[in-house]
Amino acid sequence: MKYRRQMLTVITVGALLVALSPSAAFEAVAATGDNKCYRFRPAEKSFRWKINRSRVRAGKSRLKLDPELGKVARVHARKMAREGSIFHQSSSQLGSRVTRWSTLGENVGVGSTPTSLHKAFMRSPGHKANIMYSAFRNVGVGTVRKNGRLYVTVIFESRLNPGTRLSMPKC
């Protein structure tokens, strides 16, 4: 994968949109645990704020920060950081981790700050399309910092109450 250097910052991004319906088996499964105990990191909240600011400026509705989507996003960001590169979850993997969904989008990237990565997302037509897609209602953001680099996965979803097969923290 090629890296673009911008003022000593390496930013690499990728976008994916999955517009398929999950199978009935995925719809019926919800995570165990209480999503009220999930805590978003400051960088994750910053991404949501920047995404919502961009959407409101364009006349779109705000996205709700969803704990289950956040868990799926953080697991993937952790895997990218461990491997030292960015890549998307496969459509089947993403579709099996997120339950009760109809349309999913995913942005992934690595850079130095939420601000630099969000700007890169907004300059990319595919990423911006995910951020601005009117049908999306929820967003999950996962960030992991490793060796001075910030890995991010942003998952967008259009249903009111998505879930996950991944274990959520217990209170």
**Contact yes or no for 43/142 (Cβ under 8 A):** no
Instruction: Report pLDDT for 17.
Output: 59
Instruction: Identify the bridge partners of residue 5 per DSSP, sorted by sequence position.
Output: 10
Q: Are strands 138-146 and 149-157 parallel, antiparallel or unpaired?
A: antiparallel
Extended beta strands in 57-148, E state: 64-65, 98-99, 104-111, 138-146
Q: Structure tokens of 54?
A: 């961009």
* Per-run averaged pLDDT (10 residues), the chain, 171 residues: 33 54 38 62 95 98 94 96 94 85 92 96 96 96 96 91 73 69
| AA identity, residue 124 | S
Residue carrying the six token digits 């960015």: 86
How far apart are the C-alpha atoms of 22 and 92, rounded to whole Å?
Answer: 9
CA-based end-to-end distance of the chain: 40
How far apart are the C-alpha atoms of 138 and 99, rounded to whole Å?
Answer: 13
Which contiguous run of DSSP H or E holds residue 116? helix 114-123
Instruction: Report pLDDT for 13.
Output: 52
Instruction: Report pLDDT for 43.
Output: 95
Instruction: Report pLDDT for 18.
Output: 56
How far CA 157 is from CA of 19, 105, 106, in Å, comes to 10, 7, 9
Instruction: Report pLDDT for 164.
Output: 74
